[in-house]
Amino acid sequence: MNGVGLQNKRECFIDRIAYKLLDEGRPEYNLFLKQVLMPTESAENPKKPSVPEDGIPRREALKIAGVLLVTHLSPLPVRRPTTRAKKVIVGGAGIAGLSCAYELTKRGHDVTVLEASALTGGHVRTVREGLADGLYVDAGAEHFTQPGYDRYWQYVQEFNLTALPYPRRNRMLRVLQGKMYSEDDLHSPNVLKALGFNQREVQFLARHAWWELPSLYFDPVLDKFTDEYRPFDAGLNHLDHVTMDQWLEEQGASASAIRYIGGTGVSTLHVLWHAAILKLRKVPLFPPKVFRLKGGNQRMTDAFASRLGNRVRLERPITGIEHSPSGVRVRYRESGEEKTMDAEYLVCCMSAVMLRQIPVNPAWPESKRYAVVTVPYYTASRPFFQSRSRFWEKDGVSPNIEFGERSLSHIWRMADDVDTQRGLLVSTADGLTTGEAAAKTFRRYYPGKSEDIELALVHDWSKDPWVMACETLHYRPGDLTRLWPALAEPHGRIHFAGAYADNLNWGMEAATRSANRAAERIDGES
């Protein structure tokens, strides 16, 4: 399956992977996704949570209790002077946890970051092992945009990091229905008709880039969203209960457009709201110009971690949370022993998939519980190829190719700032993909003659116990109403940050935005 701009998180945006896997039946994935990544219940199918018996973290839901303040989330709050130093525990040292801890520390608070794994950075990870000549790969977050990553760019400047323009979306080639097409091909009415688009879509795509197709249907309603943090003010709330594919059909979309835009089984309101947020931030649906950090995006999380120093404690997974109106007690493991730490505040910065496994006492109120156990995620892997030369240059073929296959979704080059003859191609694929399977798919379609891949490796996030869940998917019908803003709202002394906890709920910008919001709120409390 291929994407017009909407079918996978990074290249497009309607979430597909988990739904596709469930649809097409891979038993090992079905079990994995259903148990760990996918919702344990939905608005249509509520389920009673099971109760942890022994306080040991389990992949089960949480108890019900308490009261949640459901106000609407504001954008970044105005900075207020620190009233007094507070003791804060931050759970998780991904970019959200690190940036939250950094902001709190800057304001004079006493912060300890408890990180489950032996590394900081979470899904921001630059891999060098196994690669020659100083080549490197961003195994997780690999690009950012301008505009669109405003908070992130401020850190780029603050830490004096170098952002490189990153031509990974130039001259894209796309494999559609088994055949490779250039950008020019996809303006040709004959090609578009043969691909099954209707007259209106053909006329639109003849004048617009392939990835703009969703705009044909979305644009007429996007301006109804005027506040990016208030999706329910757009007057489209009924669309939370309509799936995107149904809605597109009602709008007169062809079967091909529905297929390429995607969105089977997901809330139309959620998809339209995300498109509207991008529009409000002046970010194209599929930004053609993107950036990365020279030396790898982990330079950013390393910069936070080095400033935090020994406030970050590695290999300390949080195993339990207790809270009261006056503070929190966190249970964690250290060298096999169970320990506790008390603080005035806790900021949970692990993914919701990890959070839903941690027993909480008193349990979350129902709206928070439902949100934490329901938010759906996908997982992915990052195959990458080292080649003896930049063979695609010899062949005059663009290395930016969208395959849309499970073993190879899309590919592009990376690390061309490294002084070497060698080439590096990096790609995205489903979890559990092998380097060999990805290389085989590449060879099946690559149109040039000089391919000289010498190494095919993979970073498989699905095998990483603490960060297996990559990013959230669009919500199922009815769930936006229940998950927003309950998922991101603080509960008493506990705040939530992370990519999932902002309005556009993916990526490093969402992680830093939500982290800044949590830090500002804690700082501002008396």
Ligand X SMILES: Cc1cc2nc3c(=O)[nH]c(=O)nc-3n(C[C@H](O)[C@H](O)[C@H](O)COP(=O)(O)OP(=O)(O)OC[C@H]3O[C@@H](n4cnc5c(N)ncnc54)[C@H](O)[C@@H]3O)c2cc1C
Are 172 and 411 within 8 A, CB to CB? no
Q: Which of 204, 223, 222 is nearest to 213 (CA)?
A: 204
For ligand X, which residue of 4, 10, 89, 345 counts as binding (CB under 6 A)? 10
For ligand X, which residue of 380, 401, 432, 438 counts as binding (CB under 6 A)? 380
For ligand X, which residue of 295, 296, 383, 507 counts as binding (CB under 6 A)? 507
345-348 and 87-91 strand pairing: parallel
Stretch that binds ligand X, among 27-35, 142-150, 155-163, 277-285 (CB under 6 A): 142-150
For ligand X, which residue of 14, 96, 277, 414 counts as binding (CB under 6 A)? 96
Token pair in block for residue 372: 């934490």
Q: Does 317 bind ligand X (CB under 6 A)?
A: yes
Q: Which of 279, 240, 246 is nearest to 263 (CA)?
A: 246
Q: Does 259 bind ligand X (CB under 6 A)?
A: no
Q: Which of 328, 352, 334 is nearest to 90 (CA)?
A: 328
CB of 46 to ligand X, least distance (A): 26
For ligand X, which residue of 124, 137, 414, 437 counts as binding (CB under 6 A)? 124
> How far is residue 269 from each of residues 60, 215, 241, 274, 376, measured CA to CA in Å?
29, 15, 8, 9, 16
Are 244 and 6 within 8 A, CB to CB? no
For ligand X, which residue of 218, 273, 442, 506 counts as binding (CB under 6 A)? 506
For ligand X, which residue of 39, 49, 94, 404 counts as binding (CB under 6 A)? 94
CA angle 266, 270, 275 (to 5 degrees): 115
Q: What residue number has its CB nearest to ligand X?
A: 94
Other Cβ atoms within 10 Å of 226 Cβ, number: 10
φ, ψ (nearest 5 deg) of residue 495 = -110, 165
Residue among 258 and 470 whose Cβ is closer to ligand X? 470
Residue with tokens 């592009």: 412
Residue among 254 and 503 whose Cβ is closer to ligand X? 503
Residue among 480 and 518 whose Cβ is closer to ligand X? 518
Q: Does 308 bind ligand X (CB under 6 A)?
A: no
Give the C-alpha separation, 319 to 58, whole Å: 9
CB of 471 to ligand X, least distance (A): 5
For ligand X, which residue of 14, 95, 191, 239 counts as binding (CB under 6 A)? 95
CB of 270 to ligand X, least distance (A): 17
Whether the ω angle into residue 147 lies within 30 degrees of 0, i.e. cis, is yes
Q: Does 116 bind ligand X (CB under 6 A)?
A: yes
CB of 89 to ligand X, least distance (A): 10
φ, ψ (nearest 5 deg) of residue 456 = -125, 110
For ligand X, which residue of 32, 136, 144, 210 counts as binding (CB under 6 A)? 144
Q: Does 176 bind ligand X (CB under 6 A)?
A: no
Q: Which of residues 454-483 bind ligand X (CB under 6 A)?
A: 461, 466-467, 470-471
> What is the size of the binding site for ligand X (CB under 6 A)?
41
Token pair in block for residue 305: 């971690």
Stretch that binds ligand X, among 67-75, 140-148, 261-269, 486-494 (CB under 6 A): 140-148
Residue among 313 and 521 whose Cβ is closer to ligand X? 313
Strands (E), 301-452: 312-313, 318-324, 327-334, 337-343, 345-348, 360-361, 377-378, 380-387, 401-405, 408-413, 423-430
Q: Does 123 bind ligand X (CB under 6 A)?
A: yes
Q: Which of residues 421-450 bind ligand X (CB under 6 A)?
A: 428
Q: Which of 293, 303, 292, 343 is nearest to 102 (CA)?
A: 303
Binding site for ligand X (CB under 6 A): 10, 91-97, 114-117, 122-124, 140-144, 317-318, 349-351, 354, 358, 380, 382, 428, 461, 466-467, 470-471, 498-499, 506-508, 511
